[in-house]
Chains A and B, each alone.
Chain A
Amino acid sequence: GAGVSQSPSNKVTEKGKDVELRCDPISGHTALYWYRQSLGQGLEFLIYFQGNSAPDKSGLPSDRFSAERTGGSVSTLTIQRTQQEDSAVYLCASSNPNQPQHFGDGTRLSIL
């Protein structure tokens, strides 16, 4: 389909390992967002990319989290030295300016 695609859908890893999560936004969308949803919580904003501008990283919870967006399309969210509190569903969304965000189905990350 033409929706936002995220991979992997599930990831289980050991505490202390690094993980990479991938997001393919809807083609042509200039804005890309990462959120995470911890158990029983709402979605928490992490980072925002708009075109070629510098990303808004204000929501990243620690310096173990980073993200990049190559060529204005695909984005990867990297978590280094994972901790158990990083366990959550990580959601990616894309949109055009002033339009509703469209979400992927997320990556469920479990840290053992």
Chain B
Amino acid sequence: DTAVSQTPKYLVTQMGNDKSIKCEQNLGHDTMYWYKQDSKKFLKIMFSYNNKELIINETVPNRFSPKSPDKAHLNLHINSLELGDSAVYFCASSQGAGIGEKLFFGSGTQLSVL
């Protein structure tokens, strides 16, 4: 069983479109995250939810909207896609954010905006 699964794995779309990426974790974790990894492999936090409540919201365009219907799911919706949104997006989860807590990552969604 995959611990953190995200779909789709690849997403190719035109500028201006709206798309969603889904993420589910079956680890019973309380906290979920979205990270963006650019072409140079730099990893940047976008959002973090704890028990469906937003706790980290970095400087991200408001075209990006996370939605957490329950603590096992954290979806990412992107409106009006732009070329600069092309990247790999990783979902992750952790039990909490205490000392020594570790992240479990999904396998990533490679988004290409044409």
Partners in one complex: no
A→B interface (CB under 8 Å): none
